[in-house]
Every structure is written in C-alpha cells, then in structure tokens.
C-alpha cells in the first residue's frame, strides 16, 4: 500500500492538498508540528474518504527532523509514491530585526528539510512504477524581495534545486514538480508578520488555499515541471523577467518593507 507524505499538512495549502488527495483515494501521511490539528485532519479524512491516514508531529528546526520522519515510515512499514514538501514560512521586515538563528531556522524548514527528505526518500520513490515529488516554492522565487529577503532567496533555492533535480531524473518514473503560489489566504501573513500594506494588497489579490492546492495537485499529477498559480501571478513573473531589477526591487519594497 502506497502513501502520499505531505509536510506542513496541518494548515493552509498543505491541509487543502491533503483533502484533494484523500478525495482521489490516496492514503496520507501528514507531518507538521501541531499534533491536535494533524490528528483531527487525519481522522476526518479517514472517515470521510475511506482512506488510510496517519500523522507525525515534528518540528523541522530540530536537528534530525528528516531522519525522524524516515525512521517513522520504516518502523510503521509505510511506503510512499508521493512526497510533497510544502512546510515553510516567511519572516518579514528588515533583515537585522531577526537573530541569525531565526534566519537559519527558517532556512532549515524551507530548504534543508526539503532537500533531506528528497534525498532520503529518493531510492524508494524510484522503485515505484510512477512517483512524484511536489515542492512548494513561491512567486517570490523569481526576484529579490526587500523586507522578505531571506524568504525570497530560500524560495529561489527551492525552484532552482527542484528544476535541476527534475532534469536529472527526466528518464525515470519520478517527476519533480515545483509550484509557485502568489499571495494565498492562509496563516502565512500572520506567521511572517507581514506589514499592513502587504496585507491590504493580499485582501484584494489573494487566492484561496483550496484553489492553489487544486492547481498544485493537478500540476503534479500531470507531471509538469513548474507552475505559477493564477494568471495575475504569471503576468507578475513575466514582468519581473522583462523589467530592470532595480524597478522590480523598488516595487516589492513598496509592498513588503516598513518604510
Ligand atoms: N500563503 C502564501 O501567500 C504563500 C505564497 C507563496 C508560497 N507559500 C508557501 O506555501 C507553503 C505553505 O504555506 P501556507 O501558506 O499554507 O502557510 P500556513 O498556513 O502557515 O502553513 C504552513 C505549514 O508549515 C508548517 N510548518 C511551519 N513551521 C514548521 C516547522 N518548524 N516544522 C514543521 N512544520 C512547520 C505548519 O505547521 P505547524 O505550524 O503545525 O508546524 C503549516 O502546516 C509554504 O512553503 C509557503 O512558503 C505561501
């Protein structure tokens, strides 16, 4: 029996992707920190969709988090054919407002655990007749974002790593898909402590977590390499490519910086 392992499945886009996969009768392994939320989601989806679902509470900033997840799968005899690296968060405001540890903890969640899990589960995924890795980056992957500098850089890393890995694996049964959401209505803005200007822009432009999750799962199952969610975000990425970097960065700073 195969499972889809989803990180950051307790809330937002991860939770919505779990529900879509459950509706497609995929068995689920749900990972994040919030044990109460994970337990309730797993139980609800099991009953509602007649699937198998289990959960594990892990803080990705703790050392050995990825190995703990792998060992849990070994101990419980769980085998996966879908790995969704979705857990992530931002820290907004001036770089110097945060400690070095706060920056590297975020990088650990957004990048290191994503690479570790991809590496640890790769041999098993390659054994399945058809398998997928879905990595959630961001529209921030396409440019520097003053006021979200480390976050944006971490998402550029996710996009670049994932595209490279997809190319390496192009002749195998394993597809690597990167999805780049723009603003989405989740807990992201609160956790990142986004400034009022950015929240106001989000109220008008954000997509729902359900809509983003559907685009992400469809892209993954279709074996796409890269997908930006929503037409506005696609147009935004095209402008970033066309315009001088200084203008792009000034515009982003106007939305995400405090000044
Ligand atoms: N919302 C947006 O506007 C937006 C835009 C572009 C990209 N994204 C990306 O989409 C992904 C999902 O975010 P979201 O918008 O759905 O935000 P969210 O509602 O805040 O969900 C984030 C998920 O990551 C998990 N997580 C955070 N820190 C963790 C840690 N230390 N250890 C383990 N799990 C952790 C959270 O679970 P716990 O809190 O239970 O640990 C939660 O399940 C992220 O990679 C984010 O960067 C979001």
The CATH number that domain 2-256 falls under is 3.40.50.720
Kindly name the residue from 3, 78, 142, 151 that is annotated as catalytic.
Answer: 151
What confidence tens digit (pLDDT) does each residue in 193-232 have? 998 888 888 888 999 999 999 999 999 999 999 999 999 9
Does the model's pTM come out above 0.85?
A: yes
List phi, psi (to 5°) of 225. -85, -40
Question: 181 C-alpha to center of ligand 1: Å?
Answer: 12
C-alpha distances out from residue 11 to 60, 140, 209, 211, Å: 15, 20, 9, 14
Give yes or no: 78 in active site: no
Q: What is the pLDDT along the chain (259 residues), one digit of tens a residue?
A: 999 999 999 999 999 999 999 999 999 999 999 999 999 999 999 999 999 999 999 999 999 999 999 999 999 999 999 999 999 999 999 999 999 999 999 999 999 999 999 999 999 999 999 999 999 999 999 999 999 999 999 999 999 999 999 999 999 999 999 999 999 999 999 999 998 888 888 888 999 999 999 999 999 999 999 999 999 999 999 999 999 999 999 999 999 887 6
Q: How far apart are CA 69 and CA 58, in angstroms?
A: 8
Give domain limits for the chain: 2-256
Name residues contacting ligand 1 (CB within 6 A).
8-14, 32-34, 58-61, 86-89, 109, 136, 138, 181, 183-184, 186-188, 191
Pairwise CA distance, residues 55 & 37, whole Å: 10
Ligand 1, atom 14: nearest CA belongs to which residue? Answer: 12
- Give the tens place of pLDDT for each residue, 34-69: 999 999 999 999 999 999 999 999 999 999 999 999
């Amino acid at each position: 029996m195969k499972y889809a392992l989803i990180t950051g499945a307790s809330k937002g886009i991860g939770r919505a992707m779990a529900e879509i996969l459950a509706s497609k009768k995929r068995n689920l392994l749900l990972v994040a920190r919030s044990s109460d939320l994970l337990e309730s989601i797993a139980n609800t989806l099991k009953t509602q969709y007649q699937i198998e679902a289990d959960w594990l509470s892990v803080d990705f900033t703790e050392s050995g988090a990825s190995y703990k997840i792998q060992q849990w799968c070994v101990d419980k005899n769980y085998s996966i054919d879908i790995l969704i690296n979705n857990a992530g968060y931002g820290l907004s405001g001036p770089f110097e407002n945060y400690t070095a540890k706060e920056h590297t903890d975020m990088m650990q969640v957004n990048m290191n655990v994503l690479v570790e899990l991809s590496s640890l589960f790769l041999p098993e995924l390659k054994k399945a007749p058809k398998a997928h890795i879905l990595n959630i980056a961001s529209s921030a992957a396409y440019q520097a974002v003053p006021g979200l500098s480390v976050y944006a850089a971490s998402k550029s890393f996710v996009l670049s790593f994932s595209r490279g890995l997809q190319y390496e694996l192009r002749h195998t049964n394993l597809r690597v898909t990167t999805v780049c959401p723009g603003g989405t209505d989740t807990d992201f803005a609160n956790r990142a402590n986004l400034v009022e200007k950015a929240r106001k822009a989000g109220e008008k432009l954000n997509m729902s977590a359900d809509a983003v999750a559907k685009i992400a799962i469809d892209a993954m199952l279709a074996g796409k390499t890269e997908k930006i969610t929503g037409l506005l975000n696609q147009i935004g990425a095209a402008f970033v490519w066309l315009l001088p970097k200084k203008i792009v960065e000034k515009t982003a700073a106007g939305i995400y910086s405090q000044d």
